[in-house]
């Protein structure tokens, strides 16, 4: 029986031994950098440098050829010149290597001669039953085995990342880590001569260490295969795609980078909607999606409760409508419940949703409204400005302030943590800072521990909620399809 792609990739990501064909002591060479990365990552398997001219590399015994290595080699990392790669692959076949990572470039991305070399390498690998990553890539990182051939050393986490661009692979990882997220698997796909994006997607879909998948794509080699893989996954894990090549003129650039054609953007957009992949418009947008999906519960529906002031309420409501969400008007009974125990200012409009105190409010009033909105059956998620204490109002003693912060934290964090409804906050200080606001470290930590995000603008806050709503609908639809 044919072995599944997931099993084949498991051997590649979690090997017991790795050989580096083209290993070197010269620090500027890929062969040296690859050995150094494996050593510094803490990889616990055996490492075999392959170089016919050196006896020892970085304290490791070097071997003249793969055939000279004693024992099994699970994965070969190939860093020699493109012209030498077919012969290196033949040696992998003879050694019965399970998988390979071809870092070397100068293949299909450079033209006809490179394409011939790539096809020759592929033919040899397929005859020998070897699956490989690349060529023209940075390779992979695996948090479980600590196998790492990439220039960056990611921290362990929940995100599986697939990128067709090598340099962009570690840019994504750096930006994710800057937001406090770790990585389960990181894959620089390169030219995808053998294993392609759909294969990696299928593997990550079955990987228990991966909670969410983020892909950077320039083009699609097999759309049907990608659709099939995505459809199986999206009911269990979010799949976020940031794809470039929106313009026809981008095809030339993509072809010379990773030998992929960009395709027509509207067709790809339709593909994403058809199979439930979430499409991002930028790297930061993709990471915003990752953050909120990892941190907040999915709303049961698309009905949003809003707390704001003046024009902010109008902007929030209007943006919700534009992104397919509802802002339901509260009944008299619900409005009365919302106001219970609050010193609601007489000049403020009755809280029909949005809730607007017309400038006369305290942090405790804000937090109470968030909590009360979460208790309403007609509300699925809440967007509000951040409950904080203004400097000029912060006249309490320190112990009183601590008690107030604890109360604020409980009111707000109970909504996602106990009621299962997402809360998104807006920072009144905007992008620059909250200099005019007093936010205690304990209150800030409480919001962060509950995974409650805060955005600098109303529009960004609504986009965050829209991601949760969209994936909630996707999850319901595809889980129903699978179980029907």
Residue ranges of domains in the chain? 1-136, 137-295, 297-475
Residue 31: asked if its preceding bond is cis (omega within 30°), the reply is no
- What integer pLDDT is reported at residue 176 of this predicted model? 93
Exposure string over 193-227, b if 16+ CB within 10 A, otherwise e = bbbbbbbbbbbbbbbebbbbbbbbbbbbbeeebbb
With beta carbons less than 8 A apart as the criterion, state whether 238 and 278 touch: yes
CB 218 within 8 A of CB 244: yes
Distance CA 432, CA 435 (A): 9
Q: Are 1-136 and 297-475 equal in CATH topology? A: yes
Neighbour count for residue 332 (Cβ, 10 Å): 9
Pick the CATH number of 297-475 from 3.40.50.261, 3.30.300.30, 3.40.50.12780, 3.30.160.270: 3.40.50.261
Give the span between the Cα atoms of 166 and 188, in whole angstroms: 5
Per-residue pLDDT at 96: 97
Report pLDDT for 67: 97
Neighbour count for residue 482 (Cβ, 10 Å): 11
Q: Give CATH for domain 1-136.
A: 3.40.50.720
CATH fit for domain 137-295, picks 1.10.3720.10, 3.30.499.10, 3.40.50.261, 3.40.50.2300:
3.40.50.261
Q: Are 219 and 156 in contact (CB under 8 A)?
A: no
pLDDT for position 257 = 44
Cα dihedral angle (249, 252, 257, 259), rounded to 10 degrees? 120
pLDDT reported for residue 480: 60
Instruction: List the chain pLDDT tens, one digit each, 484 residues.
Output: 567 888 889 999 999 999 999 999 999 999 999 999 999 999 999 999 999 999 999 999 999 999 999 999 999 999 999 999 999 999 999 999 999 999 999 999 999 999 999 999 999 999 999 999 999 999 999 999 999 999 999 999 999 999 998 888 889 999 999 999 999 999 999 999 999 999 999 999 999 999 999 999 988 888 899 999 999 999 999 999 999 876 555 554 545 545 454 557 888 888 899 999 999 999 999 999 999 999 999 999 999 999 988 888 999 999 999 999 999 999 999 999 998 888 777 777 788 999 998 766 788 889 999 999 999 999 999 999 998 765 434 444 556 778 888 999 999 999 999 999 999 999 866 555 444 455 677 888 899 999 999 999 999 999 999 999 999 999 998 876 655 4
pLDDT score recorded for residue 395: 46
Has this prediction a pTM greater than 0.95?
A: no
Say what the pLDDT of residue 397 is: 54
């Amino acid at each position: 029986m044919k072995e599944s792609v997931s099993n084949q990739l498991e051997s590649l990501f979690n090997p017991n031994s790795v050989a580096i064909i083209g290993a070197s002591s010269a620090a500027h060479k890929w062969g040296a950098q690859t050995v150094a990365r494996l050593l510094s990552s803490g990889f616990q398997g055996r490492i075999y440098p392959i170089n016919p001219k050196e006896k020892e590399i970085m304290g490791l015994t070097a071997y003249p050829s793969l055939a000279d290595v004693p024992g099994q080699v699970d994965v070969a990392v190939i860093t020699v010149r493109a012209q030498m790669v077919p012969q290196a692959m033949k040696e992998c076949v003879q050694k019965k290597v399970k998988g390979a990572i071809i870092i070397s470039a100068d293949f299909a991305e450079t033209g006809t001669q490179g394409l011939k070399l790539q096809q020759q390498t592929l033919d040899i690998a397929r005859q020998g039953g070897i699956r490989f990553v690349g060529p023209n890539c940075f390779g992979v990182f695996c948090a479980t085995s600590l196998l790492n051939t990439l220039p960056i050393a990611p921290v362990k986490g929940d995100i599986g990342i697939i990128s067709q661009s090598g340099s962009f692979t570690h840019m994504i990882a750096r930006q994710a880590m800057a937001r406090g997220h770790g990585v389960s698997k990181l894959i620089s796909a390169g030219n995808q001569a053998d294993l392609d994006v759909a294969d990696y997607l299928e593997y990550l879909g079955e990987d228990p260490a991966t909670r969410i998948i983020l892909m950077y794509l320039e083009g699609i080699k097999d759309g049907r295969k990608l659709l099939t893989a995505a459809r199986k996954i999206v009911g269990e894990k979010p799949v976020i795609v940031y794809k470039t090549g929106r313009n026809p003129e981008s095809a030339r650039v993509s072809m010379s980078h990773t030998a992929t054609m960009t395709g027509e953007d509207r067709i790809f957009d339709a593909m994403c909607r058809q199979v439930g992949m979430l499409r991002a418009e930028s790297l930061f947008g993709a990471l915003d999606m990752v953050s909120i999906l990892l941190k907040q519960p999915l709303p049961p529906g698309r009905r949003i409760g809003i707390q704001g002031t003046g024009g902010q309420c109008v902007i929030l409501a209007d943006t919700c409508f534009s992104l397919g969400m509802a802002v339901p008007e509260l009944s008299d009974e619900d409005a009365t419940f919302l106001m219970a125990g609050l010193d609601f200012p007489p000049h403020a409009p009755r809280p029909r949703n949005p809730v607007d105190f017309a400038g006369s409010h305290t942090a405790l009033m804000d937090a109470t409204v968030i909590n009360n909105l979460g208790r309403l059956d007609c509300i699925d998620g809440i967007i509000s400005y951040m409950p904080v204490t203004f400097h000029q109002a912060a006249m309490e003693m320190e112990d009183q302030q601590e008690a107030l912060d604890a109360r604020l934290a409980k009111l707000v964090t109970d909504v996602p943590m106990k009621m299962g409804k997402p809360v998104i906050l807006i920072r009144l200080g905007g992008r620059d800072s909250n200099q005019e606001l007093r936010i205690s470290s304990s209150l800030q930590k409480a919001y962060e521990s509950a995974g409650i995000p805060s955005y600098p603008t109303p529009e960004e806050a609504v986009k965050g909620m829209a991601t949760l709503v969209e994936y909630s609908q996707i999850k319901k639809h595809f889980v129903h399809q699978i179980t029907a």
